[in-house]
Amino acid sequence: MTVQIADIGKTVLETEYAVRGPIVARAAELEKQGREIIYCNIGNPQSLGQKALTWNRQILALCEYPALMDLAPSAFPADVIEVAKSILAGTKHGLGAYSESRGVRFIREAVAEFILERDHIGVDPDAIFLTDGASKGVQTILRLLISGPQDGIMVPIPQYPLYSATITLSEGRMVSYQLDEANGWKLSRTLLEASLATAEAEGAHVKAICVINPGNPTGAVLDEANIAMIIEFAKAHGLAILADEVYQENIYLSGDEFVSFAKVLHQLEAKDVTLFSFHSCSKGFLGECGVRGGYFEFRNVPDEVAAQILKLQSVNLCANLPGQTAVYAMVRPPKPGMPSYAQYAAEKGAILDTLKQRAILLAEGLNRIEGISCNVIAGAMYAFPSITLPPERTDSDYSMALLEQTGICVVPGSGFGQAEGTAHFRTTILPPTEKLQKVVDALGEFHRNFK
């Protein structure tokens, strides 16, 4: 007999991942029937026309096929050739061999220098693990921390469903805390304390808090004071922090800046708070989602726990080597004066400029529609507007009807979690500007007529 659904574990059956859920499945069906679909459901920049940076792709090409250095030397700038040679030397055996479990040391040293330059703090390359995208890192750390159904992990609402899905798969307990929509989706100590107290009263052993900054799906960028508050909260309750910082380059408001948890942790001298920070090649201005490159860095982790992290990572042998190479290209961009610098700066600037324009266009456009209200999109790649619905209608009905009528594919707010009695949807800011304007116009028309 073939494998039956009854053979499948309960945790797998209960796991949900809305970003690729039933609405997206329906979109694929409609597309097969010849409908034009605008996929606004997922932050996958290159699927919506964003170009890969030449720097990254040239380095990847040479590392994948070193013979190109002899076959077509004039096709590659001297700095790319030099970097590719140094990466190949660092891997010792090229991209076709496993690396050590943490990832190629030469690349981890480059990540350590990147963090040092960004935050002016000391970094241990052995506390850096290269991963197949940030997702794998988050999964590893949640697996590490969850030992049974009583183990709670605090997760923001709304959240990115990687967290809820991984906690369900690990048979842990998701402890939701609300983000404050009326206050630009910032975190509030009162709401954090309330959610922790409720979970503990129900018997949970809460071990960690996850924070996504800049926020997905909220688009909020946390300031230093808010981050310090979260660290103080974690310290007061003995929680570890998982800081998901994959959108650190996606900051759109002048005056805002990305502040890392590692930097604030260092400033507060919070040596008794464990921090895991995650970064990725998938977002920012690179958008290399398909390459699957990322890393995590940890602080204040005892050696015996670090050894367990290494063991968990060893089960996967190592992250893919092209992904590791892309991490190197991300953390070591060309510097002024290098042959590739001008092109790199122009490509990066153009992508970030258009993302910024789209963030403004989308939020302003949504706010002009009566019954839709959207916070400023300060960072990341999404809008999460609140919508007023007719009685008895859900945000899933709304998103499905939007897809059927307009071809626009968004994700219902319920897939991310939302305050009771509210309804939202999430859309990316990624479609090209003319298409995004069409999305806003079609949404307005649809919303006015939705019954």
Ligand X SMILES: Cc1ncc(COP(=O)(O)O)c(C=O)c1O
Residues that bind ligand X (CB under 6 A): 43, 133-135, 160, 162, 212, 216, 244, 246, 280, 282, 289, 294
- For every residue of 218-246, DSSP letters joined together read T-----HHHHHHHHHHHHHHT-EEEEE-T
State which residue, 80 or 289, has the beta carbon closest to ligand X.
289
10 Å Cβ neighbour count for 197?
Answer: 12
CB of 216 to ligand X, least distance (A): 4
Between 77 and 293, name the residue whose CB sits nearer to ligand X: 293
Q: How many residues in the chain?
A: 451
Backbone angles phi, psi at 383, to 5 degrees: -115, 145
Question: Alpha helices of 98-215 — where are they, by DSSP H?
Answer: 105-119, 133-145, 162-169, 189-201
Q: Which residue, 91 or 139, is less far from ligand X as judged by CB?
A: 139
Find the shortest distance in angstroms from Cβ 44 to ligand X.
8
Structure tokens at 153: 């992990």
> For ligand X, which is the closer residue by CB, 263 or 283?
283
For ligand X, the closer CB: 63 or 289: 289
β-pairing, 240-244 vs 205-212, is parallel
At its nearest, how many Å lie between ligand X and the CB of residue 337? 31
**Cβ-based nearer residue to ligand X, 62 or 259:** 259
Q: How far is the CB of 34 from ligand X (least distance, A)?
A: 29
Kindly report the number of other CB atoms within 10 A of residue 7's CB atom.
8
Comparison of 243 and 369: residue with beta carbon closer to ligand X: 243
Q: To the nearest whole angstrom, how small is the minimum distance from the Cβ of residue 160 to ligand X?
A: 4
DSSP code for 53: P
Q: 433 with 357: CB under 8 angstroms?
A: yes
CB atoms within 10 A of CB 24: 19
Residue 363, classed as helix, strand or coil, is helix
Query: What is the Cα 343 distance to its own chain's centre?
Result: 26
**Closest CB to ligand X among 139 and 406?**
139
Nearest-approach distance from CB 184 to ligand X, in angstroms:
18
Q: Are 151 and 172 in contact (CB under 8 A)?
A: yes
Nearest distance in Å: CB 132, ligand X: 7
DSSP secondary structure letters along 303-349: HHHHHHHHHHHHHT----HHHHHHHHHHHSPPPTTSTTHHHHHHHHH
The nearest distance, CB 292 to ligand X, in angstroms, is: 7
Distance of CA 328 to the CA centre of its chain: 18
**Cα(226)–Cα(379) distance, rounded to whole angstroms?**
16
Residue sitting closest to ligand X (CB): 133
Pick the closer one to ligand X by CB: 112 or 134. Answer: 134
What's the min distance (Å) between Cβ of 411 and ligand X? 11
